[in-house]
Chains A and B, each alone.
Chain A
Amino acid sequence: MTESVITQEMEDAIGVESKPITYSIEKNAIMRFAQAIGDTNPIFSNEEAARDTPYKGMVAPPTFLRSIAHVEDTNEPEKTIKSPYSANVDAGSEWEYFEPIHVGDTITSTTYLSKLEEKQGGKFGNMLIMTRETKYINQNTVIVAFQRTTGISYQP
């Protein structure tokens, strides 16, 4: 076992919430997302047809909120923990949904690093495994979704 790559600074980043990001749920962004994933469900692309469903209008597909994380850099905790490795891959994702996300909603998200683990001699050699948790809250201060993602950073 060589020396740990997890520094005190990284340990200290665990549980620290990111600056909140606020994002408007726009119709065209949802349509573009649905088109990109090839989903033709009218609740994601047709305002008129969506009005005749229990949603009463267009809503976001289940993984759409992921795109909020890329709006600003501040939501990337790995930037603050400085992994010693340069490459990253996604390892897994867990979503919990509480309320639909409608066009016109304003969603605020905050993320924190919940777990850091290292593994030596894994699939990608030495790896740093980071788990992050993100909370999404709408304009009525209702938590609409929760996501836990796991990412692996490694040295190519």
Chain B
Amino acid sequence: MEQTYFEDVEAGSSMPTLRKDPTSQSLVKYAGASGDFYQIHYDVEYAKNNGLPGIILHGALKNAFLGQLMTDYVGHNGTLKKLTCQYRAMDIPGTPVFAKGTVTKKYVSGDENIVECDIWLENNKGEKTTPGSAIVSLPNKP
């Protein structure tokens, strides 16, 4: 796994995009793995009766995708300290979502190299359905 170092990043740096292709099966798998069995995520009729267009991705699954974006970015020697997101728009299975991020700030605090990022999930129309932010610490180059 590639390691990002503090020296490699600056405000404006972007991180590698993480593409996900969730299917209805992914939502059932996530329901099973997380224990969240709310029917709007796998029962089309139930979702429609709740005013939704059909089944939608779990907010927590989108949160997990953004978590992966960050753990991939910090590598095994960096640390994720804070992860925030807002579910502004729904995402549906069968279309890809893209987790993306850019660095907004870097500074040293105590003995930690802190990097702050804007992160988001984008649908295939380029709409940011799930904006958020993250704070990480990164190692120095050996």
Binding site for B on A (CB under 8 A): 29, 32-33, 35-39, 41-43, 53-55, 61-63, 66-67, 69-71, 87-97, 124, 154, 156
Contacts and interface: CB of A to CB of B under 8 A. Distances in A.
A156 B20 CA distance: 29
Given A37-B61, A62-B80, A92 B30 contact: no
Interface in B1-56: 1, 20, 26, 29-30, 32-38, 40, 49-51
B64 A63 contact: yes
B85 A97 contact: no
Contact of A37 (B68, B76, B85): B68
12 contacts: A36-B33, A39-B64, A39-B71, A41-B1, A63-B60, A63-B63, A66-B34, A67-B34, A91-B87, A93-B59, A94-B83, A156-B50
Question: Interface on chain A toward B: helix, strand, loop, or mixed SS?
Answer: mixed
A33 B81 contact: no
B104 interface: no
B51 A156 contact: yes
A88 B46 CA distance: 12
B60 A96 contact: no
Contacts of B29: 35-36
B79 interface: yes
Given A38-B26, A87-B40, 9 more contacts: A37-B64, A41-B1, A41-B72, A62-B83, A63-B67, A87-B50, A92-B59, A93-B84, A94-B82
Contacts of A54: 76-77
